[in-house]
Amino acid sequence: MGDYLKGRVAIVTGSGMGIGRAIAKALAAEGAKVVTNNRAPWDGVIPVDEEKFSRLSKEMQDWAMTEYAKYYGDAERTAQEIRAAGGEATACFGDISDYDAAGKIVDCAIQTYGKLDIVVNVASAFGFSPVQDMPKKMWDRVTTVKPTGHFYVIRHAVQHMIDQGWGRIVNCASPAWAGGNLRQSEYCAANAGVVGMTYGLAAELKEFGITANTFAPAAKTRASVDMEIHNVLEGEHSVISGSPISYDGTAAPETFADFIVWLCGDGAKDVTGEVFMTMGKFIGRYALPAVEGAMFADGDGWSVEEVQKKAENLFKKPEMPAFGKK
């Protein structure tokens, strides 16, 4: 056991499995007392979309169920694994997309451990659908977890952090925050919302000694199996075989979990308002979105004709000086 986070108390939403579980265990391994969380206790049944499963080959169905079995669990299982390793953890079930349930998770941390220092929001929902076919319930289900559920937990937690003059907020987005071609416009919107919210939190809370950052992970989880099923049914590239993403070659979230631990401690006290891509051994930092091209009207405003004449200026890349020339 390490002591980088000794004396700190953390909540990790969505830590019943996958990325959240890896982060919760890593925090505990560095001395944090952790409240683990997911919606509800797992009943041992792996849920599948029966309609989609019926269209898969028997071989593909067997592969999917074998892989799913590696990832499923719940917050109590994660807490038990932390305790078995010598750490401290308490499971608290609740759906963070419910405002009151989010409050009870924060209350659990305060009542159990006396304070709250760290919130890592990993809880998520997603689906695949062309926008013209997307059910309203899919949009609502995904966006009420991100960014809304993340906000709910932060809303209940942040006054405790302000009062003590120290806090760490780390929200999980996805590379999809910048768009994508997987027919997940609702997921792109949800994660872009997480990034925008975290930018705002970083500026607002800096004076109180609270940092806020985002990580956008790529890791092998239950969602990787969902993506493979989607790709097979849509006739797209198989991620098992390696194009465009290798399922077998994708790293587990444990590979980068200690980076999140670092963000939650004093070593990263000056790191706030950042978005990181975390993918196996690779950690990348996104640039802040900025205006790249511009055009100006000659008069008091624009006409369609003048826009047409000058629009190319919006898409010009800045010229880079040639090497060796002044």
d(CA 273, CA 285): 11
Amino acid type, 196: G
The b-or-e profile of 138-175 (16+ CB within 10 A means b, else e) is: bbebbbbbbbbbbbbbbebbbebbeeeebbbbbbbbbb
In a domain, 171, yes or no: yes
The b-or-e profile of 43-82 (16+ CB within 10 A means b, else e) is: eeeeebeeeeeeebeeebeebbeebeeebbbbbbbbbebb
- Structural domains in the chain (count): 1
Supply the angle between the helices 185-205 and 136-143 in degrees, to the nearest 10. Answer: 30
Please tell me whether the peptide bond between 130 and the residue prior to it is cis, using omega within 30 degrees of 0. no
d(CA 269, CA 175): 25
Query: Whose structure tokens read 């000086």?
Result: 321
In a domain, 298, yes or no: no
User: How confident is the model at residue 324, as a pLDDT?
Assistant: 52
In a domain, 168, yes or no: yes
Kindly report the CA angle at 122 between 33 and 115, in degrees rounded to 5?
A: 30
Contact at 8 Å (CB) between 94 and 41? no
Please tell me whether the peptide bond between 244 and the residue prior to it is cis, using omega within 30 degrees of 0. yes
Query: Whose structure tokens read 């909540």?
Result: 11
In a domain, 136, yes or no: yes
Contact at 8 Å (CB) between 201 and 169? yes
Q: Which CATH number does the domain housing residue 63 bear?
A: 3.40.50.720
User: How confident is the model at residue 318, as a pLDDT?
Assistant: 67
In a domain, 91, yes or no: yes
Task: Flag residues of the chain having pLDDT under 50.
Answer: 237-243, 325-326
70-91: pLDDT as tens digits: 888 999 999 999 999 999 999 9
User: How confident is the model at residue 140, as a pLDDT?
Assistant: 97
Amino acid type, 7: G
pTM above 0.85, yes or no: yes
Query: Which residues lie below 8 Å from residue 117, measured CB to CB, with a gap of 6+?
Result: 8, 9, 10, 32, 161, 164, 166, 167, 168
In a domain, 19, yes or no: yes
In a domain, 301, yes or no: no
- Look over the chain and give the mean of its residue pLDDT values, rounded to a whole number: 91
Domain that holds residue 161: 9-285
- Cα–Cα nearest to 253, from 196, 176, 172, 178: 172
- Cα–Cα nearest to 311, from 294, 299, 288, 323: 294
User: How confident is the model at residue 235, as a pLDDT?
Assistant: 67
In a domain, 263, yes or no: yes
d(CA 46, CA 53): 12
